[in-house]
Amino acid sequence: MKNIIGLFFCFLVVHGFGQEISYADDIDQTKPEVMEVLALFENYLHSNPANLKSSPYWNKAEQEKHRQFDFLESEFQPSLYMGLATKVLSIDLNENSGFIKVSYGRIVKQDSSGLLAIVNYGLKREDGSYKLCNALSINKEKWSCTSLGLVDFYYPPYHQFDTLKAKKLLAFVDETCRNFKVPKKAFEYYLADTYLEIQRLKGFDYAMGEKYSSGPSGKASEAKVYCGGLGEYYPHEVFHVLVDPQFPNRHFWASEGIATLLGGSRGESLDWHLIKAHHFLLAHPEIDLNHMLELRNMDLQTAFHYVLGGLIARRLYQTGGWEMLIALMQSGNTDADYYQAIEDFLCVKQANLNAYIRKELALEVSHLSEE
């Protein structure tokens, strides 16, 4: 079957804004409404959607409500619209709405390598013509919604809403905003048993690096928190959505470390990750933590920026409380800035970090085993 589908792909290539657009040849180009949608999508891609503040091709309601109105744009770095081969796979229209399915990156035979994502955009008629909208806006109408305080919780119909957990999250919102002196703000909180369900809700049929594991996973973007596997209480991402935008001059490790200190990471506490990192680093004496910012993932569940960033955040909090964590969040976004902040606030020079981190990890683990 897959081979037959593969035969349908024929390439009518148009060169857009650095982006090559083609169409599956079973798209019925004799229908005027299909041609209208193809022209709409082509115009949108030609308009350099990575940097748009407004667009005549996107529906007005989402543009008025969201600064980054195309939610898929920032799902990849530097952008979904980075000049990859783009193919319209199908267009599905009803009376006044529909979907357009598009792939980014090349499908190499039936192998998905080279394919970045297959995504769906929504379509809605506005003033007589079709406009693009986020698939999320259409798909979420089939989910349940409970509003509590400033948070709108969206969840699949099978989920039994846990009010106690939701209230615990609201308490975390209050505390975090107070401690970091940031304003409270409304946000949407999407939860499901698995992150894959969230991906489908957002409009992804496939995304490179998609988290297929059943373990907890989350992501924050402008006024939206997405999380799978932890129900109504996923404080790590809530920290990001509330605090990060107020501190643009922050290092990635500063934010990830504090989020992990306060809310754990991938469903496990900072302590859990610290024990793991201690044993991992004992087995790997060759790893030079004087350059720890170059390290990425320890394994699928633990990343160095969470666990070591969390350890640094804990030491800063023990030294100077919330004020010192706030100072870290505004201490600069380059690696040199982060190393300098550690030296300024903890009196540890970069050249001594390897010894320091290993010693402090051992200390944490010995405290934990005493408890």
Structure tokens at 89: 């796979």
Report in angstroms how near the CB of residue 341 gets to Zn ion at its nearest: 18
- By CB atoms closer than 10 A (0-12, 13-18, 19+), residue 94 is exposed
Report in angstroms how near the CB of residue 323 gets to Zn ion at its nearest: 22
Residue pair 309/291 in contact by the 8 Å Cβ criterion: no
Output 24 or 277, the one with its CB closest to Zn ion: 277
Q: Reduce the DSSP state of residue 254 to 3 states and report it.
A: helix
Output 99 or 195, the one with its CB closest to Zn ion: 195
Output 256 or 360, the one with its CB closest to Zn ion: 256
| Cβ within 8 Å of residue 24, ≥6 positions away | 8, 9, 10, 87, 88, 89, 90
Report in angstroms how near the CB of residue 76 gets to Zn ion at its nearest: 17
* Residue 111 vs residues 3, 20, 208: alpha-carbon distances, Å: 11, 20, 12
Report in angstroms how near the CB of residue 281 gets to Zn ion at its nearest: 21
Report in angstroms how near the CB of residue 77 gets to Zn ion at its nearest: 15
Output 98 or 231, the one with its CB closest to Zn ion: 231
Rule CB under 5 A: which residues touch Zn ion? 256, 259
Output 234 or 317, the one with its CB closest to Zn ion: 234
CA distance 168 to 153: 13
Structure tokens at 274: 């610290």
Residue pair 298/304 in contact by the 8 Å Cβ criterion: yes
Q: Reduce the DSSP state of residue 180 to 3 states and report it.
A: coil
Strand partners, 118: 103, 206
Which CB contacts under 8 angstroms, 24+ apart, belong to 268-273? 268/301, 270/306, 270/307, 270/310, 270/311, 270/314, 271/364, 271/368, 273/302, 273/306, 273/307, 273/310
Output 326 or 348, the one with its CB closest to Zn ion: 326
Structure tokens at 10: 């024929």
Report in angstroms how near the CB of residue 239 gets to Zn ion at its nearest: 8
Output 62 or 256, the one with its CB closest to Zn ion: 256
Report in angstroms how near the CB of residue 301 gets to Zn ion at its nearest: 14
